[in-house]
Copies of this chain bind each other. A is one copy, B any other.
Amino acid sequence: MSLLAIGTVAFDAIETPFGKTDKILGGAATYIGLAASRFGKRVNVVSVVGGDFPQEYLDMLESRGVDTAGIEVKKDEKTFFWSGRYHNDMNTRDTLDTQLNVLETFTPVIPESYKDCEFLMLGNLDPDLQRAVIESLPNRPKLIVADTMNFWMDIKLDALKETIKLVDVLSINDEEARQLSGEYSLIVAAKKIMEMGPKYLIIKKGEHGALLFHKNEVFFAPALPLEEVFDPTGAGDTFAGGFIGYLAQSQDISFENMKRAIIFGSALASFTVEKFGTERIQSLTEKELAERVKQFVNLVQFDIELENSL
């Protein structure tokens, strides 16, 4: 019945037009865990950090329903570090520094108590590691969701293709969908990518929302128009965590329920971008989340009776 997430737990240093941070808590599994645990189900996280990683971050994750027993601490090494600067439009960024540190030799080891998982979220990682995790589980999970990025398409495309054969839902952005499929049209790209294995495809378009594809069905969720995007870091991982967390809690992987999961993921991501790092998603209340989902409903719902319109 459990939800397992694999991914990075990291330090980020971020510069945006609104300011800059020192090393703060980041990493795909961090955002996935904080978002997925919102729905009341405990989230088991497998990751690795160095001896420099503060216990208070682990305590904070635990207090929010993230099980950190699977986060290995390598005392003599340093935590993965990423530093980036966002441009004015917040859609593009430059990587200023990447220090792999503990990630260089990371081999995910799944604790025995995590292995009987029903929902598996593979955060962006080397596709060989993602596949090793799937293969290490005694029973295939009910749903496997995987995130990846253009970096792996550039340097490990064959390994990536092997991995996505095994997943149910692939989550990538629009440029990555075009790169992976060689097609500009996202509709054509989605068809080609689903032929590679995934039964469902999520294409994230940042401020332009997200598309969910399954067979011949397509669902679109907008991003909430915000007065200010303060820091986009972690938005995609928050979205993915919200998506799988909602599905795991409701135990319903129908297309109709995936639509709801996409809306909850989008709503959670809209909070993440309001402040630096995990600050906003940590402080988020249930009432705030419910109000924001209501804003999504108001944003897109309309009422057309076709018989009377034409």
Contact = CB atoms under 8 A, between A and B. Distances in A.
Given A218-B225, A220-B225, A225-B220, A256 B303 contact: yes
A56 B260 CA distance: 51
A310 B289 contact: yes
Given A205-B208, A218-B225, A293 B286 contact: no
Count of this chain's copies in the oligomeric assembly = 2
Given A89-B184, A260-B304, A222 B225 contact: no
A127 to B, nearest CB: 27
A221 B301 CA distance: 9
Interface in A162-220: 184-188, 205, 208-209, 211, 217-220
Contacts of A286: 310
A262 to B, nearest CB: 8
A38 to B, nearest CB: 8
B304 A226 contact: no
A294 B307 CA distance: 11
A264 interface: yes
Contacts of A55: none
A228 B310 contact: no
Contacts of A309: 246, 260, 264, 290, 293
B185 A228 contact: yes
Residue of A208, A256, A293, A309 ringed by the most chain B CB atoms within 10 A: A309
A293 B39 CA distance: 34
A227 interface: yes
Contacts of A220: 222, 225, 299-300
